[in-house]
């Protein structure tokens, strides 16, 4: 659970060197498609067709880039999402989370989870807050010449690689409309007024920022570095284990934070040879704007948990370790 920092890869070890830049990008986009619709009953022919390849050729390319077959990788992604849900949604049962991952019993889910992580689901849930999740991402290696769309105003690149957590908080469910976000932040401030910087912000699962059939709500957060008592309704408790993140600095109006996060999730990370892990995208505000002007600027940190394409549960496969 505490892996060492990975070595810097040589240029000829990258997937683009093995399969070419265009196929590599196609596989990266296919992985993003899997994550956006993880509960879909995917088969190899459907996934290959969406990527524009014949099934045998797609399976070969996928294995070269990632290190394992597509449908086995899909099962690993579902287990990784289950691991995140075990930590963040501690009110849900192991059986419920296991069934969502595609298993018909708690016993079958536990066996698969133990094979993937070395721990039973309940043990993983108990220990996760003291563990480091995943390997440290390498955001400096770009396979070949990757084109990047225009960077949203206010977002600074490249990001820093930092450890974040453990974090705790109270959250208030809302949506991406500025007025509703303002009301949610007001509710949190009334319940637990901030006494320093970087204590207010928001979070959403990756599929909350990117269009997909499984959108989840956006939540405003009052962060704390210490465990908190249960909040009053309608607020909900939240926690995040210690883990590696990509930390992006941002300065601009609050309304521009969501487009910046969308760019990070569906443009920057895939084009850098990585994928989003199943952990929330987090925004932390240094402070609220000093005026009600919608154009008033704020300083923010945007955190995304990214992994190399072949890295599931922090273990990189030989072929996919270093895009």
pLDDT digits (tens, 9 = 90+) for 42-81: 999 999 988 889 999 999 999 988 888 999 999 988 998 8
Query: What is residue 131's predicted lDDT score, i.e. its pLDDT?
Result: 55
98 and 193 both lie in a single domain: no
52 with 85, same domain: the answer is yes
Residues (pLDDT < 70) of the chain are: 1-22, 129-149, 206-217, 312-323
End-to-end CA distance of the chain: 22
The reply to whether 190 and 303 lie within a common domain is: yes
Structural domain span for residue 261 = 160-308
pLDDT value at residue 240: 86
Residue 135: predicted pLDDT: 55
Cβ contact 38:64 at 8 Å = no
Number of domains in the chain: 2
Region class of 48: left (phi > 0), else alpha (psi between -120 and 50), else beta: alpha
Calculate the alpha carbon distances from 258 to 105, 270, 279 in Å. Answer: 38, 18, 17
80, 191: one domain: no
Same domain, 135 and 262: no
CB 54 within 8 A of CB 89: no
Both structure tokens of 249: 């600095």
Bridge-based pairing state of the strands 236-240 and 274-276? unpaired
User: Whole-angstrom Cα distance, residue 250 to residue 298?
Assistant: 8
Q: Is residue 155 part of a domain?
A: no
User: Do 176 and 302 fall into the same domain?
Assistant: yes
Based on the fold, state whether residues 69 and 208 are members of the same structural domain: no
CATH number of domain containing 56: 1.10.10.60
pLDDT value, residue 316:
36
Answer left, alpha or beta for residue 310, where phi above 0 means left and psi between -120 and 50 means alpha.
Answer: alpha
Q: Are 311 and 135 in contact (CB under 8 A)?
A: yes
DSSP state of 320: T
Q: Is residue 175 part of a domain?
A: yes
The reply to whether 172 and 77 lie within a common domain is: no
- If asked whether residues 293 and 166 sit together in one domain, one would say yes
For residue 141, the model assigns a pLDDT of 47
Residue 289 has which token pair?
A: 């704007």
Distance CA 257, CA 253 (A): 7
């Amino acid at each position: 659970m505490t892996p060492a920092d990975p070595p810097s890869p040589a240029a000829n070890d990258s997937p683009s060197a093995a399969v070419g830049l265009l196929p590599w990008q196609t596989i990266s986009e296919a992985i993003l498609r899997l994550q956006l619709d993880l509960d879909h009953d995917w088969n190899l022919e459907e996934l290959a067709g969406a990527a524009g390849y014949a099934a045998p050729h797609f399976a070969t390319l996928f294995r070269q880039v990632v290190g394992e077959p597509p449908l086995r990788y899909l099962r690993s992604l579902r287990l990784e999402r289950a691991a995140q849900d075990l930590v963040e949604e501690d009110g849900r049962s192991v059986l419920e989370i296991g069934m969502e991952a595609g298993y018909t019993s708690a016993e079958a889910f536990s066996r698969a989870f133990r094979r993937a992580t070395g721990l039973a689901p309940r043990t993983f849930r108990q220990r996760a807050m003291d563990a480091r999740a995943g390997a440290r991402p390498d955001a400096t290696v770009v396979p070949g010449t990757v084109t990047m769309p225009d960077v949203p105003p206010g977002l600074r690149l490249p990001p820093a690689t930092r450890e974040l957590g453990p974090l705790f908080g109270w959250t208030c469910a809302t949506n991406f409309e500025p007025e509703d976000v303002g009301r949610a932040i007001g509710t949190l401030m009334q319940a637990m007024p901030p006494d320093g910087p970087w204590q207010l912000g928001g979070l959403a699962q990756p599929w909350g920022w990117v269009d997909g059939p499984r959108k989840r709500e956006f939540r405003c957060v009052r962060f704390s570095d210490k465990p908190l008592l249960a909040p009053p309704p309608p607020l909900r408790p939240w926690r995040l284990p210690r883990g590696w993140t990509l930390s992006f600095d941002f300065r601009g109006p609050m309304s521009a934070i969501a487009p910046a996060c969308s760019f990070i999730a569906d443009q920057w990370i895939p084009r850098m040879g990585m994928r989003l892990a199943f952990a929330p995208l987090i925004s932390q505000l240094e402070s609220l704007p000093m005026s009600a002007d919608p154009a008033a600027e704020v300083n923010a940190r945007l955190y995304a948990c990214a992994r190399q394409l072949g890295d599931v549960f922090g273990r990189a496969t030989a072929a996919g370790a270093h895009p």
